[in-house]
Amino acid sequence: MHDTRTSGRRAASRLSRLTTVLALSASALLSVAGPARATAPMDPLPADIPDYQAALDLVKSADVHNTVCRFLSVPVPQGDGGGTPQPIPDKADPCEGLPAFTVKDPLALNEITPGFVAGTSLPIASQAVQLSHLVSALDAPVNGRNATVMLAPTQGGGWHLAAVRDGDSDAAYAGKATVGTLVFTEPQIRGWYQLRLTTVEPLNDQARQGLAGRSSVSLSEYQKLVKARYADKQPGSLYDTSGMSSGYAAAKKTADTPSSTPLLVGGSGAAVALVGGGVFALRRRHDTTA
């Protein structure tokens, strides 16, 4: 339960952030010409994320905690996911033998939109980027291993457990958003970027490669780059239906299944799925995306 003081502090924080964003937006309107006028991009605050309390309750639930324990208890298949499926250790308490841990509050994971990639959407934040998932890392490594819980929106409202991934890079990058900026990913290359008004800046090596080594490009220029890379590789295209989609995109499709079969993705790109108490290896689709 949140007391009135906590609610007041959150409201004050939101008001302060909104004031700053409005100031940035006003500055942008004065400095940017053309029909697609810029407003300051902004990662959604928890209160702005649909059904955020439900997402928060979910990542703090015993079911999710136990699923993470099972994930951390199972050796991840190596290589291309074609190894022998590993059984879940037969323990009455899935967390037996593991150090105590908690799952942090969910953060927004934003991705470029299909319309932006296809060139049919304007190069502005509201049309270029959309909320895709929520991600939550652990508060500390468990036996030297970290993990990220991924939630996907459920049709009709709410969130469900979509995946557990090795490592905490998704949450670490998602947490880099600041007032007046928006952090997003180009999932096909695992590139992470920060959007400042209409300027795209890389946050990791994959993103720097995606910008051909440049330290920043305009959002309009970035749209040209991703259109050249993926416009003919959209869902439903021959590239997609022939099984050539990127490994991340393939995993994402599987991750959007009901919470009864969450996808557990290892650092090598191999995956295991918890189905009916068993663990099954899933082979990655071939990744030829540049």
Q: What angle do CA 42, 48, 50 make, to 5 degrees?
A: 125
> According to the model, what pLDDT value does residue 95 have?
94
Which percentage of the chain shows pLDDT scores above 90?
50
| pTM for this entry | 0.71
The string of pLDDT tens digits covering residues 113-150 is 999 999 999 999 999 999 999 999 999 999 889 999 99
> According to the model, what pLDDT value does residue 9 have?
45
Confidence of residue 85 (pLDDT cuts 50, 70, 90): low
Determine how β-strand 181-186 pairs with β-strand 191-196: antiparallel
Q: Alpha-carbon dihedral of residues 99, 171, 76, 80, nearest 10 degrees? A: -170
Decide if pLDDT at 32 tops 90.
no
Mean pLDDT of the chain: 74
- Tell me the mean pLDDT in the region 21-50: 52
Residues with Cβ within 8 Å of residue 136, at least 6 apart in sequence: 59, 103, 104, 105, 106, 107, 148, 149, 151, 171
Confidence of residue 262 (pLDDT cuts 50, 70, 90): low
Q: Which among 82, 96, 71, 99 is positioned nearest to 164, based on CA atoms?
A: 71
Q: Which among 13, 103, 41, 29 is positioned nearest to 66, based on CA atoms?
A: 103
**Cα(24)–Cα(34) distance, integer angstroms:** 18
Confidence of residue 42 (pLDDT cuts 50, 70, 90): confident
- Tell me the mean pLDDT in the region 177-188: 92
- Tell me the mean pLDDT in the region 209-220: 97
Which residues make beta-bridge pairs with 116? none
CA dist 81 to 60, 97, 285, Å? Answer: 30, 26, 10
- Tell me the mean pLDDT in the region 227-255: 54
Which percentage of the chain shows pLDDT scores above 70?
61
Q: Which helix (H) or strand (E) holds 169?
A: helix 169-174
Decide if pLDDT at 93 tops 50.
yes
